[in-house]
Amino acid sequence: MDKKAQLQERIKRLDEQIEEQKERIPPHSAKPEQIMELEELEEKRDALQEELRALE
């Protein structure tokens, strides 16, 4: 598997984790830890997307 495909797979997995985390967060009583975890996942995904764009 080449680097581009690996990045795409990692982004896909992070997107899945982000969706799972969003589902776990109650709409009106989110804990700061839950929001922080979600933000960390989104930051990782964004960094990988930037790396993928640099390869294209």
pLDDT in tens, 24-43: 999 888 899 999 999 999 99
Which stretches of the chain are DSSP H helices? 3-24, 32-55
Share of the chain above pLDDT 70, in %: 100
Give the per-residue pLDDT at 8.
97
8: left (phi > 0), else alpha (psi -120 to 50), else beta?
A: alpha
Give the per-residue pLDDT at 47.
98
Report the alpha-carbon distance of residue 38 to residue 31 in Å, rounded: 11
